[in-house]
Amino acid sequence: MELLIHSFLTELKRGNLTLAVLSQLRTPQYGYSLVQLLETLGIGIEQSTLYPLLRRLEKQELLNSFWDTSEKRPRKYYELSEHGEKVFQQLREEWMKNTKRLFDVLNEEDKENESY
């Protein structure tokens, strides 16, 4: 049963991850700094998922990237593009609406249970 729950949760998280990543890239971040940032926000993410995801979002032109070679080792920074900002806002609204709806539905059940 735990395995089943784990696979459901992974599925639930997968779609949300993109939103979480996009939300944190208004300021430029490099891979590992983004991992740490998300972790402090309580969003755990597998690094092997995050790095390819960043590249995919870049390819879809939601992110811009640049190399910073001024520090002791070169780092690739990612930042939300203008197009990315628009897409993010739209996704954000949809997510809020849908989540609220689902929240109400699930919450309703709680109330029903309480009334027994």
Residues that bind another protein (CB under 8 A): 30-33, 46-49, 51-52, 55-56, 73-76
Task: Confirm if 72 and 81 have CB atoms less than 8 A apart.
Answer: no
Nearer to another protein, 16 or 36 (CB): 36
Nearer to another protein, 51 or 91 (CB): 51
In the complex, what is the shortest distance from the CB of residue 54 to another protein, in angstroms, rounded to a whole number?
A: 9
Nearer to another protein, 59 or 111 (CB): 59
In the complex, what is the shortest distance from the CB of residue 88 to another protein, in angstroms, rounded to a whole number?
A: 21
Give the containing element (helix H, strand E) for 58. Answer: helix 47-59
Q: Which residues contact 88 (CB under 8 A, 6 or more apart)?
A: 19, 22, 23, 62, 80
